[in-house]
Chain A
Amino acid sequence: AQSVTQLDSQVPVFEEAPVELRCNYSSSVSVYLFWYVQYPNQGLQLLLKYLSGSTLVKGINGFEAEFNKSQTSFHLRKPSVHISDTAEYFCAVTSNRDDKIIFGKGTRLHILP
Protein backbone atom coordinates (compact mmCIF):
# COMPACT_ATOMS: atom_id res chain seq x y z
CA ALA A 1 0.00 0.00 0.00
CA GLN A 2 1.14 3.51 -0.71
CA SER A 3 0.87 6.56 1.49
CA VAL A 4 1.89 10.19 1.43
CA THR A 5 2.68 12.51 4.31
CA GLN A 6 2.67 16.27 4.18
CA LEU A 7 4.58 17.31 7.24
CA ASP A 8 3.18 20.83 7.59
CA SER A 9 -0.52 21.62 7.72
CA GLN A 10 0.16 25.37 7.38
CA VAL A 11 3.16 27.36 6.16
CA PRO A 12 3.31 31.14 6.61
CA VAL A 13 5.83 32.99 4.45
CA PHE A 14 6.47 36.62 3.59
CA GLU A 15 5.78 37.83 0.08
CA GLU A 16 8.81 37.51 -2.23
CA ALA A 17 10.48 35.05 0.16
CA PRO A 18 11.30 31.46 -0.88
CA VAL A 19 9.13 28.56 0.25
CA GLU A 20 9.43 24.79 0.52
CA LEU A 21 6.44 22.52 1.09
CA ARG A 22 7.45 19.08 2.27
CA CYS A 23 6.13 15.75 1.06
CA ASN A 24 7.25 12.24 1.91
CA TYR A 25 5.84 9.05 0.47
CA SER A 26 5.86 5.37 1.23
CA SER A 27 5.76 2.70 -1.46
CA SER A 28 7.29 -0.69 -2.23
CA VAL A 29 7.24 -0.10 -5.99
CA SER A 30 8.23 2.65 -8.39
CA VAL A 31 6.06 5.71 -7.98
CA TYR A 32 4.55 8.55 -9.87
CA LEU A 33 4.31 11.76 -7.86
CA PHE A 34 2.17 14.87 -8.23
CA TRP A 35 1.58 18.28 -6.70
CA TYR A 36 -1.88 19.79 -7.07
CA VAL A 37 -2.98 23.27 -5.98
CA GLN A 38 -6.45 24.24 -4.78
CA TYR A 39 -7.30 27.94 -4.79
CA PRO A 40 -10.20 29.08 -2.57
CA ASN A 41 -13.56 27.77 -3.79
CA GLN A 42 -12.01 26.03 -6.78
CA GLY A 43 -11.15 22.48 -7.77
CA LEU A 44 -7.65 21.06 -7.73
CA GLN A 45 -5.25 21.95 -10.53
CA LEU A 46 -2.07 20.10 -11.47
CA LEU A 47 1.13 22.03 -10.68
CA LEU A 48 3.63 19.40 -11.77
CA LYS A 49 4.26 15.67 -11.90
CA TYR A 50 7.16 13.23 -11.82
CA LEU A 51 6.79 10.07 -13.92
CA SER A 52 10.41 9.25 -14.81
CA GLY A 53 13.62 10.85 -16.02
CA SER A 54 15.06 14.03 -14.54
CA THR A 55 14.48 14.22 -10.81
CA LEU A 56 13.99 18.01 -10.95
CA VAL A 57 10.57 18.78 -12.28
CA LYS A 58 9.42 22.25 -13.25
CA GLY A 59 5.76 23.17 -13.15
CA ILE A 60 3.44 26.09 -13.66
CA ASN A 61 3.59 29.43 -11.82
CA GLY A 62 7.33 29.13 -11.09
CA PHE A 63 7.08 26.03 -8.90
CA GLU A 64 9.49 23.10 -9.04
CA ALA A 65 9.92 19.86 -7.13
CA GLU A 66 12.72 17.37 -6.70
CA PHE A 67 12.22 13.64 -6.53
CA ASN A 68 14.59 12.07 -4.00
CA LYS A 69 14.30 8.30 -4.01
CA SER A 70 16.72 7.66 -1.16
CA GLN A 71 14.79 10.02 1.13
CA THR A 72 11.40 9.11 -0.36
CA SER A 73 10.61 12.79 -0.72
CA PHE A 74 9.11 15.10 -3.31
CA HIS A 75 9.36 18.60 -1.84
CA LEU A 76 7.84 21.57 -3.64
CA ARG A 77 9.77 24.83 -3.91
CA LYS A 78 9.36 28.35 -5.22
CA PRO A 79 12.15 30.95 -5.02
CA SER A 80 9.84 33.95 -4.56
CA VAL A 81 6.17 33.71 -3.61
CA HIS A 82 3.39 36.12 -4.48
CA ILE A 83 0.12 36.88 -2.76
CA SER A 84 -1.62 34.97 -5.57
CA ASP A 85 0.07 31.77 -4.38
CA THR A 86 -2.23 31.69 -1.35
CA ALA A 87 -3.84 28.27 -1.66
CA GLU A 88 -3.82 24.70 -0.40
CA TYR A 89 -1.23 22.38 -1.90
CA PHE A 90 -1.67 18.62 -2.14
CA CYS A 91 1.02 16.04 -2.75
CA ALA A 92 -0.16 12.78 -4.31
CA VAL A 93 1.31 9.37 -5.17
CA THR A 94 0.43 6.46 -7.40
CA SER A 95 2.29 3.73 -9.31
CA ASN A 96 2.08 1.71 -12.48
CA ARG A 97 0.66 -1.16 -10.42
CA ASP A 98 -2.15 0.92 -8.97
CA ASP A 99 -5.08 2.65 -10.58
CA LYS A 100 -5.70 4.81 -7.54
CA ILE A 101 -4.00 8.10 -6.65
CA ILE A 102 -3.50 8.81 -2.94
CA PHE A 103 -3.57 12.43 -1.79
CA GLY A 104 -1.90 13.90 1.27
CA LYS A 105 -3.83 16.00 3.75
CA GLY A 106 -2.64 19.24 2.20
CA THR A 107 -0.52 22.22 3.23
CA ARG A 108 -2.11 25.64 3.44
CA LEU A 109 0.27 28.35 2.21
CA HIS A 110 -0.25 31.76 3.83
CA ILE A 111 1.48 34.68 2.16
CA LEU A 112 2.22 37.51 4.59
CA PRO A 113 2.45 41.07 3.24
Chain B
Amino acid sequence: EAGVVQSPRYKIIEKKQPVAFWCNPISGHNTLYWYLQNLGQGPELLIRYENEEAVDDSQLPKDRFSAERLKGVDSTLKIQPAELGDSAVYLCASSRGTGSFNEQFFGPGTRLTVL
Protein backbone atom coordinates (compact mmCIF):
# COMPACT_ATOMS: atom_id res chain seq x y z
CA GLU B 1 0.00 0.00 0.00
CA ALA B 2 1.15 3.54 -0.65
CA GLY B 3 2.55 5.47 2.28
CA VAL B 4 1.70 8.95 3.51
CA VAL B 5 2.36 11.45 0.74
CA GLN B 6 3.41 15.03 1.40
CA SER B 7 4.15 17.88 -0.94
CA PRO B 8 6.15 19.86 -1.52
CA ARG B 9 9.25 18.21 -0.03
CA TYR B 10 11.09 21.51 0.22
CA LYS B 11 9.89 25.10 0.28
CA ILE B 12 11.85 28.33 0.52
CA ILE B 13 9.95 31.56 1.04
CA GLU B 14 10.56 35.05 2.31
CA LYS B 15 9.13 36.12 5.64
CA LYS B 16 5.58 37.47 5.61
CA GLN B 17 4.69 35.29 2.62
CA PRO B 18 1.99 32.60 2.83
CA VAL B 19 2.78 28.91 2.42
CA ALA B 20 0.72 25.74 2.27
CA PHE B 21 1.55 22.08 2.77
CA TRP B 22 -0.47 19.15 1.50
CA CYS B 23 -0.84 15.65 2.93
CA ASN B 24 -2.52 12.52 1.58
CA PRO B 25 -2.81 9.86 4.30
CA ILE B 26 -2.83 6.10 3.86
CA SER B 27 -6.14 4.90 2.48
CA GLY B 28 -8.52 3.91 5.26
CA HIS B 29 -6.70 5.83 7.99
CA ASN B 30 -9.24 8.04 9.69
CA THR B 31 -6.84 9.82 12.05
CA LEU B 32 -4.45 12.41 10.64
CA TYR B 33 -1.76 14.38 12.47
CA TRP B 34 0.36 17.40 11.64
CA TYR B 35 3.63 17.69 13.55
CA LEU B 36 6.32 20.34 13.72
CA GLN B 37 9.91 19.11 13.98
CA ASN B 38 12.58 21.64 14.78
CA LEU B 39 16.23 20.83 14.22
CA GLY B 40 17.52 18.48 16.91
CA GLN B 41 14.09 17.97 18.40
CA GLY B 42 11.37 15.35 18.32
CA PRO B 43 8.06 15.94 16.56
CA GLU B 44 5.54 18.15 18.37
CA LEU B 45 1.84 17.82 17.62
CA LEU B 46 0.17 20.78 15.94
CA ILE B 47 -3.24 19.32 15.19
CA ARG B 48 -5.03 15.97 15.14
CA TYR B 49 -8.03 15.08 13.00
CA GLU B 50 -10.46 12.24 13.41
CA ASN B 51 -12.11 12.06 10.01
CA GLU B 52 -12.88 15.68 9.15
CA GLU B 53 -13.06 16.91 12.75
CA ALA B 54 -10.12 18.64 14.41
CA VAL B 55 -10.18 16.99 17.84
CA ASP B 56 -6.97 18.52 19.21
CA ASP B 57 -5.68 21.84 17.91
CA SER B 58 -4.51 23.17 21.26
CA GLN B 59 -0.90 23.52 20.05
CA LEU B 60 -1.72 25.19 16.74
CA PRO B 61 -0.78 28.91 16.71
CA LYS B 62 -4.13 30.06 15.40
CA ASP B 63 -3.08 33.63 14.70
CA ARG B 64 -1.07 32.48 11.70
CA PHE B 65 -1.63 28.75 11.23
CA SER B 66 -4.72 27.08 9.84
CA ALA B 67 -5.56 23.58 8.71
CA GLU B 68 -8.37 21.76 7.03
CA ARG B 69 -9.28 18.21 6.17
CA LEU B 70 -12.18 18.35 3.77
CA LYS B 71 -14.06 15.07 3.25
CA GLY B 72 -11.89 13.42 5.89
CA VAL B 73 -9.08 12.44 3.52
CA ASP B 74 -6.46 14.92 2.29
CA SER B 75 -5.36 17.76 4.52
CA THR B 76 -3.66 21.11 4.07
CA LEU B 77 -1.72 23.14 6.61
CA LYS B 78 -1.28 26.84 5.94
CA ILE B 79 0.89 29.54 7.45
CA GLN B 80 0.08 33.18 6.77
CA PRO B 81 2.21 35.16 7.20
CA ALA B 82 5.35 33.07 7.71
CA GLU B 83 7.98 34.16 10.23
CA LEU B 84 11.67 33.32 10.44
CA GLY B 85 10.99 31.03 13.40
CA ASP B 86 8.67 28.86 11.31
CA SER B 87 11.66 27.31 9.55
CA ALA B 88 11.35 23.60 10.39
CA VAL B 89 10.16 20.27 9.02
CA TYR B 90 6.40 19.77 8.94
CA LEU B 91 5.43 16.13 9.24
CA CYS B 92 2.11 14.54 8.44
CA ALA B 93 1.14 11.17 9.92
CA SER B 94 -1.90 8.93 9.85
CA SER B 95 -3.24 5.98 11.81
CA ARG B 96 -6.06 3.53 11.37
CA GLY B 97 -7.57 3.88 14.83
CA THR B 98 -8.26 6.79 17.12
CA GLY B 99 -6.28 5.69 20.19
CA SER B 100 -2.84 7.10 20.91
CA PHE B 101 -1.52 3.55 21.19
CA ASN B 102 -2.03 2.97 17.46
CA GLU B 103 0.99 2.98 15.18
CA GLN B 104 1.39 6.23 13.33
CA PHE B 105 2.69 6.21 9.77
CA PHE B 106 4.70 9.27 8.84
CA GLY B 107 5.28 11.01 5.55
CA PRO B 108 8.74 12.29 4.57
CA GLY B 109 7.91 15.82 5.66
CA THR B 110 8.13 19.27 4.11
CA ARG B 111 11.26 21.22 4.97
CA LEU B 112 10.36 24.91 5.18
CA THR B 113 13.01 27.62 5.06
CA VAL B 114 11.87 31.17 5.76
CA LEU B 115 14.36 33.86 4.68
A98 near B109: Cβ-Cβ < 8 Å: no
Q: Which residues of B contact A (CB under 8 A)?
A: 3-4, 40-45, 48, 55-56, 91, 93, 98-101, 103-109
Whether A98 pairs with B100 at a CB distance below 8 angstroms is yes
| CB <8 Å contact, A99 and B48 | yes
CB distance from A30 to the nearest CB of B (A): 11
Q: How many Å lie between the Cα of A104 and that of B91 in the bound state?
A: 16
Number of interface residues of A (CB under 8 A): 24
Chain B nearest Cβ from A57, distance in angstroms:
13
**A63 contacts the other chain (CB 8 A):** no
Q: Are A90 and B56 in contact (CB under 8 A)?
A: no
A interface, CB within 8 angstroms of B: 9, 32, 36, 41-46, 49, 51, 90, 92, 94-96, 98-101, 103-106
Contact call A99/B56, Cβ cutoff below 8 A: yes
Whether the pair A94, B41 counts as a contact (CB closer than 8 A) is: no
B-chain residues with CB within 8 Å of residue A42 when the two chains form the complex: 108
Whether B103 contacts A90 by the Cβ 8 Å rule is: no
Write the nearest CB–CB distance from B101 to chain A, whole angstroms: 5
If A43-B93, A43-B109, A44-B106 touch, does A104 touch B42 (CB 8 Å cutoff)? Answer: yes
Cβ–Cβ contact A43 & B40, under 8 A: no
Is A106 a contact partner of B40 (Cβ separation < 8 A)? yes
